[in-house]
Amino acid sequence: MTELHESAGAGPGDAHFAVFTDREDAAAVARSFSRNGTRILKHASGRPWLVGQWHDRDIVTARAGRAAVAVVGCCPIDAAELERRAGRLRDLAELDTLARSLPGSFHLVAALDGRLRVQGTASGLRLVFHAGIEGVTVAATRADVLAAALGNDPDEEQLAVRLLWPVPHPLAEAPMWRGVMPVSPHDALIVAPDGRTVRHSRWWTPPEPVRTLADSAPLVREALATAVDARTRQGGVVSCDLSGGLDSTSICFLAARSPARVVASTWPGRDPADTDLYWAEQAARSLPEIEHVVWDADASPLVYTDLLSIDDLLDEPTIGVMDRSRVLHHLPGMAERGSRLHLTGIGGDHVAWCSEAYYHRLLRTRPPFALQQLRGFRALWQWPLGGTVRALADSRPYGKWLADSSRRLRDPLSATVSTSLGWGMPPRLFDWVTPDAERAARRALREAAASAVPHHPDRGLHADLEQIRACTRIIRQWDRMAARAGVPMASPFLDDRVIEACLAVRPSERVTPWQYKPVLSAAMSGIVPDACLRRTNKAAASMDAANGLREHRADLLALWDDSRLEQLGLVDGAALRRLAERPATPELRDAVLYSTIAAEVWLRGLGRAAEPRTPASA
């Protein structure tokens, strides 16, 4: 395929691009997307098709007959196989099968007879947006790129929505700018030959959770092993988190079976009760061929570190900024040891376990079994009997639940049992959010509630998908930060094939009060030593968060001294400054500041990006 380079382009793991139809008016718009470092992949006509930044490791392309296909991201398919697939392509809908079969995590882009198809991942880790620009539909993997082409400022109502804790479906999918439209992770964007007409075509539905654990364990093992192999089969040096938890330990053992040399990385917790190091050392003793690096616990950045200096270009606010320094801190050390990629166990909590909300349905279909399990959950999580009964009796449809939530935005946080057994945590606003912002958020919630459809009619599967996508929205930004820091990150648990294998397990066997992550324990039996599989808990890192609030009080004060949100009339800066002066207040438990900090840091980042750069002296 013809490709033009304006400079060296992005490093591995930092691919982002816009997609254009094969038309002269689209080519004219594409020229405005060209920047320093831009690469251009062209249609057979010579007009731009993909315009953006990517590394050669992150893209596979093929052209055959009237079809052209590009896979951008991590996928083990080679150009010859992709060309064979392209040669058989007669309709873009046929790509549904290809997208549901390939391992890895990638964007899939195709052109056929003047039509375009662009899609990301069902997990939400790789997203697609589109906008009409000068009469031409342009798709892109980042919303801010389209907003810049439109010349639009952030939408203040959407900023008010992002102050909710949490932001519920479907509001979390909305981009931060008017004129930029999201494509749901389960949909592909189809652009007609006229370059204007678009539709969203569903390519993914979650599997029905009907497989037994015994039947599922080998399928989960195969999917996770394939996901790790997709990143390690090229050899070289890869690094892995080894926290001692089941998730990172599983990834580490699978990576150790590959051609790659593995460097395992452990950050001990500062809390004396934290047992992560003990379990990590247990695992490392069974992996003598790997290098195990144990960092100084006191050198680990705390939560809230460096909030004032974050300069990553993000296309939406993310609570991931709170832990950015912690996530990136060890990557230079991994780079010094030769790591080309850092594997994490992130996502294991979201796919190897599942929501107790499945028991809302199971109580109605298998009452004796569900009651027995619910007794166990009540003891495990200390759910009160009255709250449990009320949560199980609540049969409101999702839209009604969302509408009711809009009337209770200033209520205290909901009880854990109602969150665990219901549609999720109802959104809340806190005292420092202004009445104007509250009105805007309430209006958006009511409008969404009128037509809102849950991810799935079963509130358990809805909650699972909601948590997976909330996680990937954070990881999507961390991945970009890590690539910029020089060592790309990958989270194999969040590959679509792994998610599918886990979601297919019967919830009655996947979430139980009597066993911790039974799916992962069964899948990794024979790969991870039994001694490691016996761990039944994980570290909470609550001490690091509490210490971070105290140690970075000055930064939080500075954040609100010149608050962009306050200038927009969305928060009461004085109230936030008072909170920052007393970080031990009980009001700051439960991460209630996170969404506000995320929005403030994001706005500051946009301001830095807009500042004129001083040319370097010759």
Per-residue confidence (pLDDT) for residue 420, from 0 to 100: 97
Model confidence at 299: pLDDT above 90:
no
Instruction: Quickly state the pLDDT bin for 548 (edges 50, 70, 90).
Output: confident
How far is CA 179 from each of CA 131, 133, 137, 151, 593, rounded to the nearest angstrom? 6, 9, 11, 10, 29
Which DSSP string corresponds to 339-384? EEEEE--TTHHHHSS--TTHHHHHHHHSHHHHHHHHHHHHHHHT--
What's the pTM value of the predicted model, to 2 decimals? 0.95
Spatial neighbors of 90 by CB under 8 A, at least 6 apart, are none
CA-to-CA distance for 231 and 251, rounded, in angstroms? 11
Model confidence at 321: pLDDT above 50:
yes
Instruction: Quickly state the pLDDT bin for 542 (edges 50, 70, 90).
Output: low
Domains detected in the chain:
3-154+175-202 (3.60.20.10), 213-302+314-352+465-534 (3.40.50.620), 358-461 (no CATH), 543-610 (no CATH)
Instruction: Quickly state the pLDDT bin for 91 (edges 50, 70, 90).
Output: very high
What is the mean pLDDT of the segment spanning 514-526?
Answer: 95
Instruction: Quickly state the pLDDT bin for 545 (edges 50, 70, 90).
Output: low
HEC string of 454-498 equals CCCCCHHHHHHHHHHHHHHHHHHHHHHHHHHHCCCEECHHHCHHH
CA-to-CA distance for 589 and 543, rounded, in angstroms? 11
Q: Which two tokens stand for residue 109?
A: 């882009």
In the 8-state DSSP scheme, what is residue 618? -
Total residue count of the chain as it appears in this document: 618
Per-residue confidence (pLDDT) for residue 7, from 0 to 100: 38
Residue range 429-461, pLDDT digits in tens: 999 999 999 999 999 999 999 999 999 999 999
Residue range 573-590, pLDDT digits in tens: 999 999 888 877 776 777
Which amino acid type is present at position 596?
A: T
| 3-state class (DSSP) for residue 510 | helix
Instruction: Quickly state the pLDDT bin for 540 (edges 50, 70, 90).
Output: low
CA-to-CA distance for 115 and 67, rounded, in angstroms? 10
Spatial neighbors of 309 by CB under 8 A, at least 6 apart, are none
Which segments within 271-329 are labelled E, that is strand?
Answer: 291-294
Model confidence at 220: pLDDT above 80:
yes
Per-residue confidence (pLDDT) for residue 617, from 0 to 100: 34
Contact 161, 167 (CB under 8 A): yes
CA dihedral 510, 511, 513, 518 (to 10 degrees): 30
Instruction: Quickly state the pLDDT bin for 551 (edges 50, 70, 90).
Output: confident
- 161-170, 273-282, 497-506, 570-579: which range is least confident on average? 273-282
Residue range 402-434, pLDDT digits in tens: 999 999 999 999 999 999 999 999 999 999 999
Model confidence at 119: pLDDT above 80:
yes
Q: Which two tokens stand for residue 154?
A: 């952030």
Spatial neighbors of 42 by CB under 8 A, at least 6 apart, are 1, 2, 3, 4, 48, 49
Residue range 470-509, pLDDT digits in tens: 999 999 999 999 999 999 999 999 999 999 999 999 999 9
Model confidence at 535: pLDDT above 90:
no
Model confidence at 305: pLDDT above 80:
yes
Which amino acid type is present at position 391?
A: A
Q: Where does residue 260 fall: left (phi above 0), alpha (psi -120 to 50 degrees), or beta otherwise?
A: beta
Closest CA to 116 of 20, 228, 184: 20
Residue range 18-77, pLDDT digits in tens: 999 999 999 999 999 988 889 999 999 999 999 999 999 999 999 999 999 999 999 999
Per-residue confidence (pLDDT) for residue 544, from 0 to 100: 65
Rounded (5°) CA angle 470-475-481? 145
